Structures are given as C-alpha cells and as structure tokens.
Amino acid sequence: MAKQDVGARIEGLLDEYLADKELEIYNIEYKKEGKDWKLRIYLDKPIGCDSEYVDINECEDVTHFLSDRLDEEDFIERSYTLEVSSPGLDRELLKPSDYERFKGRDVEVKLYTAIDGRKELAGRLLGRTDERVTVEVEGREVVIPADKIAKINLAVIF
C-alpha cells in the first residue's frame, strides 16, 4: 500500500476515536529507516484546549486502540514499528493554523537559499500569509518568502 494511502487509512481509523478526547492528528509518517519500516503518529491538542501538551497516557491509549485496529484491518503489507507521540517542544510548523497558534513565540528557520547571507534565522514569529512568513530577528522584521523556507520549528529556550 502506498505511503499516502496508509496515512489516509490511519486518519480514518483515528478521527472518530480522537474527537471526544481533545486530541487531533498533527502528522503521520510511514517510512523506511534502514531496513525497518516505521509508522509514526504524532498527536496534538486542538486550539482552545485546557492543556497545550499531549501527555504520555494519551499516547499510550491511542497506541493500544490503534494497534488493535491495525491488527483487525491488516492493510499494511510490511512489518513495521508503531510509534505514537506528540510533536515535541521543538515542533515543526506545518499547517497555517500552527502559524496563528504560535504567533509571538520564538522560532528557528532554515532556508533553502540565504537571506542577508544567512541560511538559518532565529527570532519571534510575527505572522504568515500564503506567500511569506514574517519573523522579528535581532530587533528588525524579516519577511521571508514561503518558498525559501525549508523548515520552521519552535525554538526551545531554557
């Protein structure tokens, strides 16, 4: 089964189950790493929940539910390792709603091509449109064309 088909089937299995648990799917990865296949389900809290973070018990509950359902459905032809977790403190911003949700937070930006001689920037996320992301870097606004961004993550600052 193709990778995108696996993701769609997993979403179908989880959507109803997650609806009443204040959880949503952040991302699904099904890929080969070395000689092994990994199926990773990343869970998130919807905007407006009491808690911003997914806890280990929630991951464990989803793992048990999904493992049982995958055994019943048996649509993945290869053997694989199932992992269920949260996106982590340094989560990648993937969806437009992520940019709105984390506006004002510190981010790290990796670029395909340099801006002002730099391919990595760190600063405070100011906003995003379809075409660009604005980050305050060292006291000035930097407007980055969205197609130049390789990856943008929340910065972890201790």
Is 72 or 2 the better-scoring residue by pLDDT? 72
Burial of 60 (0-12, 13-18, 19+ CB in 10 A): exposed
pTM value is 0.83
Q: What is the pLDDT of residues 105-114, one digit of tens each?
A: 999 999 999 9
- CA 88 – CA 43 distance, rounded (Å): 10
Q: Are strands 36-44 and 81-85 parallel, antiparallel or unpaired?
A: parallel
In b/e form, how buried is each residue of 14-24, taking b as 16+ CB within 10 angstroms? beeebeeeebb
For each of the domains in the chain, give its residue range(s) and CATH number, in order of start: 4-83 (3.30.300.70), 94-152 (2.30.30.180)
> pLDDT grade, residue 116 (50/70/90)?
confident
What confidence tens digit (pLDDT) does each residue in 15-59 have? 889 988 889 999 999 999 999 999 999 999 988 888 888 999 999
